[in-house]
């Protein structure tokens, strides 16, 4: 299953491991994200099991995001580290997307990884929450897990389902999700131990196979999705500072995930951006002082989007929005203007942007 990983661990003695997913891969709910999450524990396991190998972790998980953002940030956040092994986990967050988006988004990410380097091994990881448990009780499964399992089989990729192991532990605890999670969604340290055990057991089996003589290329099959699988892109605003006269550069990290951002100088602040593709989005900050922007496409159609929702009452986070999708492919220009509008419960009109997203 992971023959190239075996070769790199035992022959090359070097492995770059990428973790691509949402908050459960990021480590939300753990007492120490970089020590007690399943991601951190699996990296530690690989280092302990293969002490002569140089193990490098590429942390490319972002909480509250699915493969609709993942297909835009895959190259920037994950492939820039040139991973040899990727754990991809988006089952929970993708469950909130349409069926068509679930298929095309996940397959787009798989193909980007394999097209970047066709010797990269991929493990498809399935997570679970009380929300997905409710879907399973209603329909027998949740569509994102079914879609991702089907795609894993199509591409010949191994799967691991620590989420199901956690769900079964909750069943044995009389349905008490708070025994193993911090909030019925994110595992606590005990819940992450369940995830870790499942992943370790799977890796023990996969990595016990005979060491090959060399790495070999994975066959990339014809796509299952009928959607356009052109890779999305993410443009850091630092790449176009000449457009941002109404914005101020903030050279400090936000939530340790994005190293810098641009903050609008106030209501009326405007930026124009030209892109080539079929969709446009914003990767930005959402908090209790966030406002709204109007986004006008090609001088014709305008959408108002808000950087505030109910979750902003409790915490700030990086998030994203796509005002325009499914456009005719070609060059388009958007004008983004900070609106005087805001949600009645927001405390301000702040707008802070990490990057532009292009489909």
Between the two ends of the chain, the Cα-to-Cα distance in Å is: 32
The upper half-sphere exposure of residue 257, i.e. CA atoms within 13 Å in the direction of its Cβ, equals 25
**pLDDT value for 256:** 74
**pLDDT value for 138:** 87
**Contact indicator for 324, 295 with CB cutoff of 8 Å:** yes
pTM score: 0.93
**Contact indicator for 336, 268 with CB cutoff of 8 Å:** no
Domains and CATH numbers, the chain: 3-206 (3.40.50.1110), 233-358 (2.60.120.260)
Distance CA 346, CA 202 (A): 46
**pLDDT value for 226:** 86
Banded pLDDT at 181 (limits 50, 70, 90): very high
Q: For 261-279, write each residue's pLDDT tens digit.
A: 999 999 999 999 999 999 9
Distance CA 276, CA 130 (A): 40
pLDDT > 90 in the chain, percent: 91
pLDDT exceeds cutoff 90 at 250: yes
Q: For 212-240, write each residue's pLDDT tens digit.
A: 999 999 999 999 998 889 899 999 999 99
Q: For 106-153, write each residue's pLDDT tens digit.
A: 999 999 999 999 999 999 999 999 999 998 888 888 999 999 999 999
**Contact indicator for 109, 70 with CB cutoff of 8 Å:** yes
**pLDDT value for 228:** 83
Helix 99-116 and helix 143-155: axis angle, to 10°? 30
**pLDDT value for 255:** 79
């Amino acid at each position: 299953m992971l023959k190239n990983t075996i070769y790199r661990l035992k022959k090359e003695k070097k492995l770059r491991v990428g973790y691509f997913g949402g908050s459960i891969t990021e480590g939300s709910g753990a007492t120490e994200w970089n020590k007690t999450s399943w991601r951190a524990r699996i990296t530690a396991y690989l280092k302990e099991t293969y002490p002569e190998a140089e193990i490098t972790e590429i942390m490319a998980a972002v909480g509250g995001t699915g493969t609709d953002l993942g297909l835009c940030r895959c190259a920037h956040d994950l492939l820039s580290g040139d991973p040899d092994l990727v754990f991809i986990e988006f089952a929970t967050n993708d469950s909130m997307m349409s069926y068509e988006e679930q298929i095309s988004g996940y397959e787009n990410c798989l193909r980007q990884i394999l097209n970047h380097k066709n010797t990269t091994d991929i493990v498809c990881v399935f997570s679970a929450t009380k929300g997905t448990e409710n879907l399973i009780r209603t329909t027998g499964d949740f569509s994102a897990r079914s879609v991702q399992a089907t795609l894993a089989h199509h591409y010949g990729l191994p799967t691991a389902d620590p989420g199901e192991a956690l769900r079964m532990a909750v069943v044995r605890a009389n349905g008490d999700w708070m025994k193993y999670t911090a909030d019925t969604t994110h595992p606590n340290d005990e819940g992450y131990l369940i995830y870790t055990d499942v992943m370790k057991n799977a890796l023990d089996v996969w990595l016990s196979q005979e060491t090959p003589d060399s790495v070999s290329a994975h066959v990339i099959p014809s796509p299952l999705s009928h959607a356009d699988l052109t890779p999305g892109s993410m443009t850091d605003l630092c790449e176009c500072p000449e457009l941002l006269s109404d914005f101020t550069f903030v050279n400090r990290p936000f939530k340790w995930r994005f190293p810098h951002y641009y903050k609008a100088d106030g209501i009326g602040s405007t930026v124009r951006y030209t892109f080539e593709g079929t969709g446009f989005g914003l990767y930005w900050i959402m908090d209790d002082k966030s406002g709204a922007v109007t986004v006008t496409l090609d001088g014709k159609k305008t959408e108002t989007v808000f950087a505030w929702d109910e979750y902003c009452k409790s915490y700030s986070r990086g998030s994203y929005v796509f005002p325009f999708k499914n456009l005719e492919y070609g060059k388009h220009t958007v004008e983004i203007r900070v609106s005087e509008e805001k949600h009645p419960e927001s405390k301000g009109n702040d707008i802070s942007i990490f990057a532009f997203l292009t489909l």
